[in-house]
Amino acid sequence: MAHSSEDQQAGQPNQFSPTLFDFEAFLAEEADGGLLQPPTHDDVGLDYQNFSDLDLAPRVSYPVEELPSPEMRSAWENTFQEEPILERVPLSAPSLAVNHSLTAIPISVISPGLTQWHPIIPEDLPPNHWAYSAPTITRPSSAAAEVPEVPEGSFLNPILNSFTCPSTPLRVIDAYKYPFEDELQRALEAELQRQNERAAKQDLADFYQAELQRRRESNEALEAKYALLAKDLPGPSTPAPTPAGDGNKTPRNKRPINISNTDPKKWYRPLPIRPDSWGAINPQTMDRTFNYTDHGELNPRDIFTVQQMSEYIGSHRATLWIQTVPADSGRRYPSKTSDKCRFAACPDGNRTIRKGDFRVTFDEHPNNTLKDPFHNAAYTHLFCLEKFLDFPQICKSFDVRPDTRTLKEGKNRMAITRDHKSMEDIVRTFIRESVEWKYFHGGRRPDNYYEYTLCSKLTREHLAKQPKHLQSIREQRGGNTIDIHQNNLDIFVVNQELKKERAERRPLEGKRRGRKRKNREKSPDEDSGESGLDEDILQRGLNSAQSRPLRPKMTEAAALTMSNGLNYQRMIIVDDDYDDESEDEEDLEKEEFRQLSKRLRSGRSIPPL
């Protein structure tokens, strides 16, 4: 069948070409039967004739050459080998306490069983056989710990402050760490519980505030209905007071008569309902902070701190009237201490609001015309309110008004416009244009803040509008007057202390003058036997009773001249030898002048010379 390529003619196909291959002849050829049939038996003794299906015949396990066990290498060599081999070491449980700040919680870290790790984690790691347990991180009492307070919008981890959307890092943490560790999960649940508790308390506080507002409005409605009914009812029967002016002599000053004849019950009615107490509970007395009397005023025995006064004003319960303290009105208040300043830190130890001072009245029923205008919740110095609180901010946020009301009894003696009409414009301008202290020169109140206060502005206006003769009278009288302290209560109290100290020193000075006078009046004969000094030296400059000239009495013309007030000139006939520098003579002269003045005012005759 074989032919060389040289004998093949050109263009004649090759005998090995698929087109010339005879498959039928190839299949008909007799092949060696041993190649197609399995052996009857082999070295292992299996007879394949017993298995019709060769796939069911058992497979022979041929011996495989065992691989040598891996050689133990050092940890440094394992780092650079292809197959990672981890070294098994005994477990230990060291603890590490980490405190990053004062508020941080101690963290205990338990080391894992394997200490040598490949720097790059391979895809397929051999199974880990921990001797005890997997590594754990414990945070003792982290769920019960309070979350540290940080400013809103800032986090302890600085990277969280770089996200514009706060929810972005939360989504990353949730996708990467879920499910969270047990301690973290419990801490989140505890914080959520605290948030729900705060929300529940806020809802309850809002409910109470709304209920209190509803009750106040209901009380005002009841007061209005009661006022309509009280107009048609007769007033209470009270005995008519005896007029103080009855008698033969008519007093020139009618003010005491007007005060005694004033009966507030003719125009005003008591409150129908006593206001409820409110505020925090005092643990010592178990009473509320703000307790009321039947007249609607806060307990007159209670004084309040600056924080408590801020809480009271912040409740929006009262209208703040800017007033002038009236005179001769002590009987109109419910008690003797009703008109005292309620600040516990008032500079005046007695908390007295004096006549001529400016005060703030806290009126919880400003629209009730049947309530006595002298029956209010509380009073404070205007000076104290501006000293302890941000009064410009109060004017912007709360109901502050100048008192210009017209009362049923007639003239309003508490009105800020009682003396000058311009006072109302000053108060309204201050309420509208005053600057809060937090916006004043860097957010701090200046040391000379008083000149920017409403109290100072009203005082300057009062002194500018007063008659000129009043200032001259103050200068002659002297003392701690308004032109000196300018209604600054701190300066007033300091001046009063100095005045008291001077008054306490006067008796000591009088005793010294008395001893000096006694020594001058002492007779020179008494010391002649005990002293070796010359009598001329002792008598020199000493006016004894025998050598002192007699002072003539005043003439009738001189007394009449003094009584008529013609510059109070003393027309006294004095001898040429009279000693004008004698203190005794001056005292006698003043005493006689006072006696003559009393006689002239009483109408009695002047004794003859």
**Contact of 473 with 467, CB cutoff 8 Å:** no
Q: Which residue has the higher pLDDT, 257 or 302?
A: 302
What is the pLDDT of the chain when averaged over all its residues? Answer: 72
Measured distance CA(408)–CA(222) in Å, rounded: 21
With 0-12 / 13-18 / 19 or more C-beta atoms within 10 angstroms meaning exposed / middle / buried, residue 589 is middle
The mean per-residue pLDDT over the stretch 296-322 comes to 93
Measured distance CA(11)–CA(50) in Å, rounded: 56
Measured distance CA(58)–CA(46) in Å, rounded: 9
Q: Which residue has the higher pLDDT, 608 or 494?
A: 494
Measured distance CA(194)–CA(200) in Å, rounded: 10
Q: Which residues, including other chains, have CB under 8 Å from residue 168's CB and lie 6 or more apart? A: none
The mean per-residue pLDDT over the stretch 557-564 comes to 51
Dihedral sign (CA 292, 295, 296, 300) = negative
What's the pLDDT at 365?
92
pLDDT at 83 over 60: no
**Contact of 397 with 403, CB cutoff 8 Å:** no
What's the pLDDT at 69?
59
pLDDT at 291 over 80: yes
The alpha carbon of 417 is separated from its chain's Cα centroid by a whole number of angstroms, namely 33
Our CA angle for 177, 182, 183, nearest 5°, is 100
Out of 3-7, 108-112, 218-222, least confident range: 108-112
Residue with tokens 């800032």: 154
C-alpha dihedral, 574 to 577 to 579 to 580, nearest 10°: 40
What does the domain layout of the chain look like in residue ranges? Answer: 263-490, 550-609
What's the pLDDT at 567?
41
**Contact of 559 with 588, CB cutoff 8 Å:** no
What's the pLDDT at 104?
44
What's the pLDDT at 164?
83
pLDDT at 203 over 60: yes
pLDDT at 41 over 70: no
What's the pLDDT at 542?
43
If DSSP codes are grouped into helix, strand and coil, which group holds residue 395? helix
pLDDT at 358 over 80: yes
**Residues 342-351 pLDDT 10s:** 999 999 999 9
The mean per-residue pLDDT over the stretch 144-167 comes to 71
Measured distance CA(419)–CA(415) in Å, rounded: 9
The mean per-residue pLDDT over the stretch 18-28 comes to 65
For 66, the token pair is 């065992």
Under the banding of pLDDT at 50, 70 and 90, the label for residue 526 is: very low
pLDDT at 137 over 90: no
**Residues 413-425 pLDDT 10s:** 999 999 899 999 9
What's the pLDDT at 222?
85
Helix, strand, coil fractions of the chain, as percent rounded to 5: 40, 5, 55
Helical (H) or strand (E) element with 273: none
**Residues 323-337 pLDDT 10s:** 999 988 888 999 999
**Contact of 377 with 296, CB cutoff 8 Å:** yes
Q: Which residue has the higher pLDDT, 177 or 299?
A: 299
For 285, the token pair is 């007395």
pLDDT at 372 over 90: yes
**Contact of 112 with 135, CB cutoff 8 Å:** yes
Which residues are 381's β-sheet partners? 359
**Residues 275-288 pLDDT 10s:** 999 988 877 778 88
Q: What is the DSSP string of 81-105?
A: SSS--PPP-----------SSTTPP
**Residues 389-440 pLDDT 10s:** 999 999 999 999 999 999 988 889 999 999 899 999 999 999 999 988 888 7
Q: What is the DSSP string of 138-196?
A: E-TTTTTSPPPP--TT--SSGGGGG-SSTHHHHHHHHHHHPSPPHHHHHHHHHHHHHHH
Under the banding of pLDDT at 50, 70 and 90, the label for residue 99 is: very low
Measured distance CA(244)–CA(251) in Å, rounded: 9
What's the pLDDT at 517?
61
pLDDT at 474 over 70: yes
DSSP, res 438: G
What's the pLDDT at 156?
78
Q: Which residues, including other chains, have CB under 8 Å from residue 189's CB and lie 6 or more apart? A: 143
With 0-12 / 13-18 / 19 or more C-beta atoms within 10 angstroms meaning exposed / middle / buried, residue 607 is exposed
The number of helices, as runs of H, and strands, as runs of E, in the chain is 17, 8
Using only C-alpha atoms, what is the Rg of the chain? 55
pLDDT at 235 over 80: no
pLDDT at 246 over 90: no
Measured distance CA(536)–CA(117) in Å, rounded: 123
pTM above 0.75, yes or no: no
Q: Which amino acid is at 407?
A: L
Q: What is the DSSP string of 478-513?
A: -SS-HHHHTT-HHHHHHHHHHHHHHHHHHHHHHHHH
pLDDT at 473 over 80: yes
Residue 361 φ then ψ, to 5°: -105, 130
Helical (H) or strand (E) element with 385: helix 382-388
What's the pLDDT at 90?
61
With 0-12 / 13-18 / 19 or more C-beta atoms within 10 angstroms meaning exposed / middle / buried, residue 392 is buried
Measured distance CA(289)–CA(28) in Å, rounded: 123
**Contact of 524 with 535, CB cutoff 8 Å:** yes
Helical (H) or strand (E) element with 288: strand 288-290
What's the pLDDT at 475?
81
What's the pLDDT at 398?
94
pLDDT at 118 over 80: no
Q: Which residue has the higher pLDDT, 110 or 392?
A: 392
For 93, the token pair is 């449980």
Q: Which residues, including other chains, have CB under 8 Å from residue 302's CB and lie 6 or more apart? A: 290, 291, 342
CA distances from 476 to 470, 472, 483, 565 (A): 10, 6, 13, 16
